[in-house]
């Protein structure tokens, strides 16, 4: 007696009821082992085919995602290069503006020194004229003379009248 036939006989001997149904099922299974193995192989093939299809679909999705990310990377890389170039240009412009500002600062300081010198000289001239006017009668009479409009416009900053004639006769 073989193991299968003894198991089948044991299953049949379980009697009626639930255990009897289980016993009949086990007995049938031991009698149809080849059929069960064939169905298991078919089920395994269906599962493998399903896994293959799922993997192919997943692979296609990954390929699509890789293409999209490659395009996004190329676009971002191009944008970064453009921005980097703009940044370099702005750095150069800023450096140029700093240089101009430094030169302007020097010029402004020079002008301020010149204005101080001019103001000091102007005050000295005014003081000398005031002293001369007090001490010299000829200077006082000259300073009291009316200045013609053609010359006065230069002194007070008003627009000068148009030329009315030649200074040098021909």
Work out the burial of residue 23: count CB atoms within 10 Å of its CB; fewer than 13 is exposed, 13-18 middle, 19 or more buried.
buried
**pLDDT digits over 118-158, tens only?**
999 999 988 888 888 888 888 878 877 887 777 777 777 77
- What is the per-residue pLDDT for 17? 62
In Å, what is the CA distance from 49 to each residue of 41, 45, 87? Answer: 12, 6, 56
**pLDDT digits over 103-118, tens only?**
999 999 999 999 999 9
**pLDDT digits over 7-26, tens only?**
555 545 555 566 667 767 77
**pLDDT digits over 72-95, tens only?**
999 999 999 999 999 999 999 999
In the chain, where the domains are located: 30-144
pLDDT at 166 over 60: no
């Amino acid at each position: 007696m073989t193991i299968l036939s003894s198991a089948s006989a044991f299953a049949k001997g379980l009697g009626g009821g639930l255990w009897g149904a289980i016993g009949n099922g086990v007995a049938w299974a031991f009698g149809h082992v080849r059929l069960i193995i064939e169905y298991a192989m078919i089920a395994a093939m269906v599962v493998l085919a399903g896994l293959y299809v799922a993997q192919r679909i997943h692979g296609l999705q990954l390929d699509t995602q890789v293409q999209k990310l490659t395009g996004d990377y190329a676009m971002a890389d191009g944008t970064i290069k453009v921005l980097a170039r703009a940044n370099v240009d702005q750095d150069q412009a800023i450096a140029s503006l700093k240089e101009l500002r430094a030169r302007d600062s020097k010029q402004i300081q020079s002008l301020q020194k010149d204005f101080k010198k001019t103001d000091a000289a102007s005050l000295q001239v005014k003081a000398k004229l005031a002293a001369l006017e007090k001490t010299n009668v000829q200077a006082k009479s000259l300073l009291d003379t009316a200045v013609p409009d053609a010359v006065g416009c230069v002194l007070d900053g008003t627009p000068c009248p148009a030329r009315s004639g030649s200074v040098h006769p021909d």
